[in-house]
Structure formats: structure tokens, C-alpha cells
Amino acid sequence: MKHVLMTGGSSGIGKALRETLLQMGYKVTNISRSEGEILCDLSNTKTLECEVKKWLKTNEVDVLINCAGVGVFEPHESINVSKIKEIIDINLCAPIILSNLCLRSLKKTKGHIFNVTSIEATKHSKFSALYTATKSGLRDFGLCLFEEIRKDEVKVTSLNPDMTKTPFFDSLHFEPSSKSNEHLLPQTLANTMKFILENEAVITDITIRAPKFGITKKKNSL
């Protein structure tokens, strides 16, 4: 049985990915602060390293999925420094560390890394400097890493989804439009991942978008 190690598998896009992988016959280990087989706060990178090293002593990795992410979309000077560090640690540092820790195993299995980034990794938006920095950094990390480990037949894919109906937006000033042709659903991303896993070619970078763009601003939004 092939094994998946992932983050963000408790809700939203990650939950859809996890459920689809289970249906495909994979064994999935999710890293989460409260709902995972490995309990760990991703912003605590020292604990993350310790727990994953312990897990790797008895497990191999066929697929690594870096899906967990947090965002803030506010004027940069208004963001607390501790929040800046938290977002960088979760969105960028944790995936880079996990890739580092799992590479020896992924080379053995000729495995696959999926980095779930964002449409913001491909463009530049107001009030998104911090979030975009982490997601574009993750995208570029994956593209560079593939060139490094291509000789070992390890695949690396950056999934760059447009606005998707998930709890990600619960604490934000805006959310995806309710119109079905103006947002994505998590299962769409899961179907894309399934297609890529079943494809012999390497799809290194893919942006998934709704046919139209639409957002709904909440009260007191910027």
C-alpha cells in the first residue's frame, strides 16, 4: 500500500485531497494541530522536525502533500510581527522542511510532492504582499526542486488554485462569490490531483481557475 504524508487534511481542499486519496487506496497520514495522525503545530518547526523524523523511522513516503495554509489580507504595516512569522512558518518553512526530511524516502519510492499554493503565487494583488510572498516562494521552491531531483524520478507539482469555497475565508474580509461559475470547489482540486497522479508525464505547475471571477466583500471590509 502506498503512503501519503500530508498537511492540511482536516478541512477544505486538504480534506478533499485526503478523501480522494483514501478512495484511491492510499494510506494517509495527516499532520495537524488537533485532527491528525501526527499531532503538531506547523508553526513550531522544531517539533515538526522531531515528530516527522520519528515517523520516518518506520514509514516510507510515496506522496508528500503540503496543503496547510493561512492568510491575512491587510495593509502590511497593520500586521503583527508574530502573525508575519506564523504565516511564513506555516505556508513556506514547514513545506520546505517536510520536503527536506522526506526526500530520501521519496527517492526510494520515486514519489511525488504536491505543493498547494494559490492563484496569488502567479500575480500581484493589493493587501496580499505577505501571503503572496509565501505562496510564490513555495511555487518557485517546487519548480527549482524538481530540476534538482528530476534525475531521481521524483515528481514535483505546484497546484495554484483560484478562489475556492472553503473555511479559509471564514476570518477574512471577503469570500468567493456564491455563483457556481465564479468559484472552485475542493473536489475540483482533488480531481486534478488524481489526474496528475495517474499521468505518467510530470505536470510541474498547474493553475486552476473558475470560468469567471467574483468575490463578495463582507461588512467592514477594506
8 A C-beta contact, residue 89 and residue 47: no
Residue 56, Cβ neighbours under 10 Å: how many?
A: 15
Distance CA 185, CA 205 (A): 19
What is the CATH code for 3-217? 3.40.50.720
Could you list the beta-strand ranges (E) of the chain.
Answer: 3-7, 27-32, 38-39, 63-66, 112-116, 155-161, 174-176, 205-208, 215-217
8 A C-beta contact, residue 182 and residue 214: yes
8 A C-beta contact, residue 97 and residue 48: yes
User: pLDDT per position in the chain (222 positions), as tens?
Assistant: 999 999 999 999 999 999 999 999 999 999 998 887 999 999 999 999 999 999 999 999 999 999 999 999 999 999 999 999 999 999 999 999 999 999 999 999 999 999 999 999 999 999 999 999 999 999 999 999 999 999 999 999 999 999 998 888 888 888 888 889 989 999 999 999 999 999 999 999 999 999 998 888 877 654
8 A C-beta contact, residue 16 and residue 4: no
Q: What is the reported pLDDT for 97?
A: 98
Which residues make Cβ contacts (< 8 Å) with residue 199, sequence separation at least 6?
none
CA nearest 154: which of 100, 185, 111, 203? 111
Distance CA 43, CA 194 (A): 29
Distance CA 11, CA 189 (A): 13
Distance CA 160, CA 123 (A): 11
Q: What is the reported pLDDT for 215?
A: 84
8 A C-beta contact, residue 216 and residue 174: yes
